Amino acid sequence: MVDPNGIPLGFAMALAQNQKALERFALLSKEEKKVLTEKAKHADTKEEMQQIVESIINLQNFT
């Protein structure tokens, strides 16, 4: 299920539970957000979704 902004609801919920990841996601470029959103759309498990969210914390470049 995807919200009106194109973000999978599971991804949005996982971000909401991780304040640091949510703050960093907000700083990403539109293209970076799109890449992560596409990865989230193809996540098959909750664990995979969690890995995507946790990877946001470790991102170095904010273009």
Residue 41, CB-side half-sphere exposure with 13 Å CA sphere: 11
CA distances from 59 to 19, 24, 56 (A): 15, 8, 5
Give the DSSP H or E segment for 53. helix 46-57
pLDDT, tens digit (0-9, with 9 covering 90-100), for 28-58: 999 999 999 999 999 999 999 999 999 999 8
Question: Is residue 20 very low, low, confident or very high in pLDDT (cuts 50, 70, 90)?
Answer: very high
Contacts of 31 (CB under 8 A, 6+ apart): 63
